[in-house]
Amino acid sequence: MISLLRFGLPGTRLPMQETRDSEVKSVELPNCKLIKGIETGAEDLEILPNGLAFFSAGLRYPGVKSFEPDKPGKILLMDMNEEDPTVLELKMTGSNFDASSFNPHGISTFTDEDNTVYLLVVSHPDFKSTVELFKFQEEEKSLLHLKTIRHELLPNLNDLVAVGREHFYATNDHYFVDQYLRSWELYLGLAWSNVVYYSPDDVRVVASGFDFANGISMSPDRKYVYIAELLAHKIHVYEKHANWTLTPLKSLDCDTLVDNISVDPVTGDLWVGCHPNGMKIFSYDPENPPGSEVLQIQNILAEDPKVTVVYAEDGKVLHGSTVASVYKGKMLVGTVFQKALYCEL
């Protein structure tokens, strides 16, 4: 998700203005509806192969609008196989888990060999960064909290992609933790954010030099890692090696602020939630709200990938799209702090 800090200083460079702040060219889909029960955002989402979708809802982020600033966040569940799917809130249990400070951001799932599903959630309790590890209990419609992960190399987490129960790649969207230093980091255009590989026995930076590393995902064959560099408007492709190192392969310019990346497990297409006029998120005006945009990227490894704007609008429906994901001809679109959309493609 985007940071406010680049907008608070006189004379600050404003790459958000490089995107289409004036007008968003509408690209409509005929069969879309808002999802009942999502009113405070769905910043990230992930769909399991069986059609169950997890939503990260209620993110509170400095400088960004929140419609329920005093309430903790939550994880919602939807069954996309239903004819008219709805969401329900998953109960979170665990003796050492403080649900009152839960502030979910990026999420990722890992399915074990015995088909146990684990949900890994970036959270910001007291605006710090942790990864919360849960076991999904489908029959009880609940999440059992197993562990809180903290590490000095994970200070400013945004998103993650799980490669094991306690193994993941994660993006830090800033280098500095201190708010004043973070403001100068952005003001000076210091591309110092990074990607970290984490396991219980091995934690290291595996990629760096990003101007706000944001969404991260992986190809269906697990050979490639995709990283969204928000303020550079780029998606980077890295080759993943057996020792968990990453080698850069290519970058794709997207002409918009790229947020979270979802990958279609069948086709390998990337689906990207984007901000066509991101500055409006930080000077929120309900009469002139931020717009939304969804990109589909086909054959990203090819010399000339096909990039399609699947959905775009100026904020009349959705304010600030962050993520899109598809399942059997249906698409979900989430936002930073507002609503979420269900579409039939």
Do residues 97 and 39 make contact, with C-beta atoms less than 8 angstroms apart?
no
List the catalytic residue out of 105, 145, 174, 233. Answer: 105
Residue matched to tokens 């799209």: 321
Cα distance between residue 90 and residue 231, in whole Å: 34
| Residue 281, annotated as binding a ligand | no
Q: Is 260 marked within a binding site?
A: yes
Burial (CB count within 10 angstroms: exposed 0-12, middle 13-18, buried 19+), residue 62: exposed
Q: Tokens 């794709």 — which residue? A: 252
Task: Give the whole-angstrom CA distance, residue 338 versus residue 32.
Answer: 16
174 is catalytic: no
By the 10 Å C-beta count (0-12 exposed, 13-18 middle, 19+ buried), 63 is classed as middle
Measured distance CA(50)–CA(78) in Å, rounded: 11
211 is in an annotated binding site: no
Known binding residue 259? Answer is yes
Sign of CA pseudo-dihedral 94, 98, 102, 108: negative
Structure tokens given for 258: 């790229």
Please check if 264 is assigned to a binding site. no
Q: Is 38 annotated as a binding residue?
A: no
For residue 293, the surrounding DSSP H or E stretch is: strand 292-298
In whole angstroms, how far apart are CA 258 and each of 145, 151, 165, 211? Answer: 31, 26, 27, 12
107 is annotated as contributing to ligand binding: yes
Closest CA to 29 of 334, 339, 331, 321: 331
Annotated binding residues: 43-44, 107, 158-159, 214, 259-260
What residues are annotated to the active site?
A: 105
Annotated binding residues for Ca(2+): 43-44, 107, 158-159, 214, 259-260
